[in-house]
Copies of this chain bind each other. A is one copy, B any other.
Amino acid sequence: MTRSPGARGMAASEKSAPRIPAEKDAIGVIGLGTMGSAMAANLIKAGIKVHGFDIVAAQREELKKSGGMPATSVAAVAQLAEMLLTSLPSSDALHAVAEELHGKGRVVMETSTLPIEDKERARDTLAKKGIVLLDCPLSGTGAQARAKDLVVFASGDEAGFRKAESFMPGFSRAHYYLGEFGNGSKMKFVANLLVAIHNVSAAEAFALGMKAGLDPKTIYDVIANSAGASRMFQVRGPQMVANDYDDATISVQLFQKDMKIIGDFAARQGVATPLFNTSAMIYNAAMAQGHGAEDTAAVCAVLEALSGIKR
């Protein structure tokens, strides 16, 4: 593992193909949703030239306002920059992008959270065209992406990583190189397994404390400073105290995709995950009770209802 909070300044020496005079110091961001647009904005602020594409015109327009250069297609982005970053909503989107991309020597930081099998398939599709795909999922929410508070779990071809590394401080606070392709995703699943559990455990703590007569704000203040603390307790706790889940950093509905990926991964690896499985049913309940569009912290409402708590 290499953790490099190091400064910008890559001496990329590889020769680009003559027909594609892509810029070495530019980056092409494909997918300008919550995460992609936040990373693009930070890269621009860091002084990097950012080309970008999204199928939604409004997102391309926003990139322009941030100081980036919207392109007309995935292929066009790849003509303009040697370094690419993808931030995509689904495996289908990834496969479509992999089909469209061309340009020998390109390196793609694939930052989405998707099944490893799909990333491997995209890697193989691109390898045939001389393009290196790196598996680089991110730890952090949309809010953290805006604050450049992301951590990159990079994995895959090491030479490719060395080229990509210098761009990482432009959109993250830290990055790790975790070895062979897929290890980044595996680490992300491990982190997300804990995120899934700790969000529910925080809710369980509030439910127990409130039912016993303790004030939720007091619970938050005392526990956040105790041996029972977790990053999720600290981050999601205030929403649980306020009993207001409208401002979703990640919605229950969206998180269901991650839950399924982790569950399938654990089953395929042959790992028994008792707490994760128990958490999963609480998220299903949250969906069923109409909290799909709310922040995942809404599992607190599910546990309160379960224990007949009214406030």
Contacts and interface: CB of A to CB of B under 8 A. Distances in A.
A232 B275 CA distance: 15
B274 A289 contact: no
Name which of A189, A205, A271 has the most chain B CB atoms within 10 A of its CB: A271
B193 A208 contact: yes
A115 B218 CA distance: 21
Interface string A211-229: 1111100110111011111
Given A270-B308, A284-B270, A183 B214 contact: yes
A307 B1 contact: no
A159 interface: no
Contacts of A153: 222
A230 B275 CA distance: 15
Contact of A193 (B192, B205, B211, B289): B205
Interface residues of A, number: 85
Nearest to A232: B227
A75 B265 CA distance: 38
A190 interface: yes
A233 interface: yes
Contact of A201 (B176, B229, B275, B277): B275
Contacts of A277: 277-278, 280-281
A276 interface: yes
Given A193-B208, A222-B1, A223-B191, A274 B269 contact: no
B288 A281 contact: no
A208 B285 contact: no
A198 to B, nearest CB: 6
B287 A282 contact: no
A279 interface: yes
A279 B276 CA distance: 11
Contacts of A274: 200, 204, 274, 278, 281-282
Contacts of A307: 270-272, 284-285, 288-289
A178 B211 CA distance: 15
Interface string A1-27: 101000000000000000000000000
B227 A214 contact: no
A284 B228 CA distance: 21
Contacts of A265: 208, 212
Nearest to A186: B212
A151 interface: yes
Contacts of A204: 193, 197, 273-276
A52 to B, nearest CB: 26
A118 B39 CA distance: 38
Contacts of A228: 139, 190-195, 198, 231-232
A237 to B, nearest CB: 11
Nearest to A280: B277
B218 A190 contact: no
7 nearest CB pairs, A to B? A194-B228, A230-B230, A270-B288, A288-B308, A191-B228, A272-B285, A277-B277
